[in-house]
Amino acid sequence: MTPVPRLDDLLREAAPKAIGALVRRFGDFAACEDAVQEALLAAATQWPVDGVPDNATAWVVRVASRRRIEIYRADEARRRREALVVARDVRPDPDAEEADDTLTVLLLCCHPALTVPSQVALTLRAVGGLTTAEIARAFLVPEATIAQRVSRAKQRIKDAGATFDLPSLEARSASVEAALGVLYLIFTEGHNASAGSVVHRRDLTVEAIRLARQLRARLPGDGEVAGLLALMVLTDARRAARLGLDCAMVPLAVQDRRTWDREALTEGVALIQWALAHAPVGPYQVQAAIAAVHAEATHAEATDWPQILGLYDILLRLSPGPMVSLNRAVAVAMVHGPRAALDQLDAALHDGTLAVHHRLDAVRAHLLEQDGDRNGAQQCFERAARRALSMPERQYLETQSERLKSIGGS
């Protein structure tokens, strides 16, 4: 036995591998996932005392297998299957189909029969190895809510008759796209918390990047997988500069770029350069390319805004949506002036979702101030602050409103 090295990392790495090993032997994803969770809990309790086994995954598989057999024995309706299950050789082979198992578990967690919140919760628990309590804390919801989502998700997978196999190439493409969407949602919530008292939830961004790296290792030729990983790495590289000494939010334009993680920026740029050169262009690649343009500018004034505007034009064609239009308006302002961008925002008001979103008011406020309308900008900042659910964002918007109010109207 050896001293405990990075216990959380070992457990999270073992989780999908153990689930894969058990499902291949026993079937029934839901029961196997429960057994693995109990084995992970046992490991978290025993390993700090006894030390980490030489083969951590094998230990988890062995303990989870025993628990799975106990479940069979406790089920009277499955008494006949007990002898068959016990007779099987359940000694784990950690090298057998290990890569495929992790990918299969991820795609199963993103089954189309599930709602997006259920996909997120099940992915974080089954693939990420997070406990129900950890997921609940990250998303600021009661633990019972997450437990219910996980339970319902596993039942829906069972009802849908999903098997533990990699889908066909055509079906796999749709499944990978869903998985990318789930990982992007996890990362986005971690990078820009939609509610609560913090800007950044490090546990979520770390987990999203870790899972994206795993997916990249298993699908090395997929351009969108590489694009999403590049986008995450490039975005997370700016994390240290996003808050000032007073913990106030710092906009991108005035961040101290010397604090950006240069190693991460180099990795992200290399990833997106590879993806654009070797795979069909997709939305995540375009977003990563935009992030790379920002990363390569040594100061805000050196940003190549015409290139960014061109990339947003491509993104709008590939993945149209109100938030893409809103972000594009910022690029329009930097290239053609605030008035041209304000005219485009008027069209965005017709989108019911965006019309009441605080970001529309926040962007309009910045554009109005650039255009010389301080009164209008102050009112938009004030309205945006009222609509913001994130306390740091609300405080930033209130500060901007008070600043303009103290200056006076135009």
Within-domain flag for 123? no
Q: Please give the Cα distance from 73 to 82 (Å, whole number).
A: 6
Q: Is residue 56 part of a domain?
A: yes
Instruction: Give the domain-ending residue among 96, 127, 142.
Output: 96
Q: How many domains does the chain have?
A: 2
Distance CA 378, CA 357 (A): 17
Whether residue 183 has pLDDT greater than 90: yes
Instruction: Check if the beta carbon of residue 232 is closer than 8 Å to that of residue 187.
Output: yes
Strand partners, 196: 390
Q: Residue 257 falls within a domain, yes or no?
A: no
Q: Between 135 and 80, where is the model more confident?
A: 135
Residue 71, domain member (yes or no): yes
Q: Say what the pLDDT of residue 162 is.
A: 77
The upper half-sphere exposure of residue 399, i.e. CA atoms within 13 Å in the direction of its Cβ, equals 11
Domain-embedded: residue 325 = no
Whether 18 is covered by a domain: the verdict is yes
167, part of any domain: no
Identify the CATH number of the domain in which residue 359 sits: 1.25.40
What percent of the chain lies above the pLDDT cut of 70? 88
Range of the domain at 349: 331-410
Closest CA to 82 of 94, 100, 90, 70: 70
What pLDDT does residue 96 have? 41
User: If pLDDT is split at 50, 70 and 90, which confidence band does 200 have?
Assistant: confident
Examine residue 80 and state whether it is found in any structural domain, yes or no: yes
Residues 269-322 have pLDDT tens digits of 999 999 999 999 999 999 999 999 999 999 999 999 999 999 999 999 999 988
Domain final residue, candidates 64, 96, 128: 96
Q: What would the pLDDT profile of 370-394 be if each residue is shown by its tens digit?
A: 999 999 999 999 999 999 888 889 9
> Where does a domain end: 66, 96, 126?
96
Higher pLDDT pick, 118 / 408:
118
State which amino acid sits at residue 366: H
